[in-house]
Amino acid sequence: MKKKYSLLFRSAGGSTLNRELGLGHVFRCINLAKSLKGNKIKFLIEDYGSVKKILNDNGFSDITVLKSGISLNDDITSTLKIIKKEQIQMLIVDKYKTNPHYTSEIKKKLPVTYISDLNVIKYPCHLFVNGFIGFENNIIDKTNQRILLGPKFQIINSKFLQPKKKKKKFDVLATFGGSDDSGVLEYFLESLQFVSKKLKIKCILGPSTKNSKKIEPIKVNHHQITIIPHTNNMKKEIDDCTFGFCSGGITSYEFAALRTPFAIIAQNKHQLKTSNEWTKRKVSISIGLPNKKNQHRLFHLLEKISQGEIPKFSKQNFVDGKGAQRVVKNIERILNKNY
């Protein structure tokens, strides 16, 4: 029988201006936490909208909500109090732009796993995980630290290990993350009005995205558009489509895992790095940021898809869906060392 551990996940997410949070970090924590079932799991979060509800919906109820925008010192103090009270044995952090001093202080007390998706390799922690497509798959061992790099370590839902379906219900799936502060869906739908032949399209708003006043008129004018507020099974949604549009977050890895052709409309500048790396590997098309300059590129692609000209991409398997399993094995390896 495997030893059970008490694990604390630190994350943040939701819809908030100028912070580029979204919900990708939260969903990645959920994916990993589900792969660690059998252990005691607790979440410590900043909730900028929908995060606690999403955790509850996924079966996690042991949640402490911090004040949004908490100071670094207060964050460290609050985390250490919970670690002591709950007898936590590992802290797992997946939060956009986490201050290195935070993990540096916590790792003095217990093992820390840090998960990133930016072009970063150095970070104060015991286990560093970065599934960025721009890295070659690699394991680097340093003194008291193990580094897991490359898309084989990208943490996606275990459902992506299930067999793919062949029959497609929709020509296009459009999904731009759990929150869409940049209005990418509106931008996408506006381009559809000029496509000569109608497409059968499914759009997923995301848990923190509201169905804006601009979306409804476009939906009415284009009768083959289906809009749903969110999904609990992204694997099924991607399986149902011939081509996808997404932002440069974790969903891009999910499209790649099913080898479904897709294009990326970046919500912010840092997603352009991911988008460009997928394009280099001939797995995706980069539309760029949602502006007038790039709208012609989007319209041209939609027009080609409407005519049945689906772009052909590399068949190389960059993401096999086993990333969470690999990370879990390394987490257990760190814990068994009893730092």
Q: What is the CA radius of gyration of the chain?
A: 20
96 and 177 fall within a common domain: no
On whether residue 25 sits in a domain, the answer given is yes
Nearest residue to 182 via CA among 298, 270, 287, 268: 268
Mean predicted lDDT score pLDDT of the chain: 91
pLDDT digits (tens, 9 = 90+) for 195-233: 888 899 999 987 766 655 666 666 666 668 898 988 989
pLDDT score, position 49: 84
On whether residue 313 sits in a domain, the answer given is no
pLDDT score, position 206: 76
Total number of domains constituting the chain: 2
146 and 260 fall within a common domain: no
Nearest residue to 267 via CA among 211, 183, 178, 201: 183
Nearest residue to 292 via CA among 185, 180, 175, 191: 191
Predicted TM-score (pTM) of the model is 0.92
248 and 203 fall within a common domain: yes
Residue bearing tokens 């689906």:
310
On whether residue 314 sits in a domain, the answer given is no
160-189 core/surface letters (b: 16 or more CB in 10 A; e: else): beeeeeeeeebbbbbbbbbbbbbbbbbbbb
140 and 105 fall within a common domain: yes
- In contact, 209 and 180? CB cutoff 8 Å: yes
- The residue range of the domain holding 112 is 6-156+321-336
Nearest residue to 123 via CA among 132, 336, 13: 132
Q: Kindly report the backbone phi and psi dihedral angles of residue 229, in degrees, each rounded to the nearest multiple of 5, phi listed first.
A: -70, -35
Domain with 271 in it: what CATH number? 3.40.50.2000
pLDDT score, position 306: 93
Q: Kindly report the backbone phi and psi dihedral angles of residue 270, in degrees, each rounded to the nearest multiple of 5, phi listed first.
A: -70, -20
220 and 246 fall within a common domain: yes
On whether residue 330 sits in a domain, the answer given is yes
104 and 194 fall within a common domain: no
Domain with 145 in it: what CATH number? 3.40.50.11190
- In contact, 129 and 112? CB cutoff 8 Å: no
Q: Please name the helix (run of DSSP H) or strand (run of DSSP E) that holds residue 289, with its range, or none.
A: none
Q: How many Å apart are CA 239 and CA 170, to the nearest integer?
A: 9
Pairing of strands 225-228, 284-288: unpaired
132 and 164 fall within a common domain: no
210 and 132 fall within a common domain: no
30 and 147 fall within a common domain: yes
On whether residue 241 sits in a domain, the answer given is yes
Angle made by CA atoms 322, 13, 292, in degrees to the nearest 5 = 95
294 and 171 fall within a common domain: yes
Q: How many Å apart are CA 3 and CA 121, to the nearest integer?
A: 30
pLDDT digits (tens, 9 = 90+) for 297-321: 999 999 999 999 998 898 899 999 9
pLDDT score, position 1: 39
On whether residue 23 sits in a domain, the answer given is yes
- Ranges of the chain whose pLDDT falls below 70: 1-2, 15-21, 178-179, 208-223, 338-339
**For 203-254, what is the HEC assignment?**
EECCCCCCCCCCHHHHHHHCCCEEEECCCCCHHHHHHCEEEEEECCCHHHHH
- The one-letter code for the residue type at 116 is S
51 and 184 fall within a common domain: no
Quick one: how many helices (H) and strands (E) in the chain? Answer: 11, 14
296 and 204 fall within a common domain: yes
- In contact, 32 and 324? CB cutoff 8 Å: yes
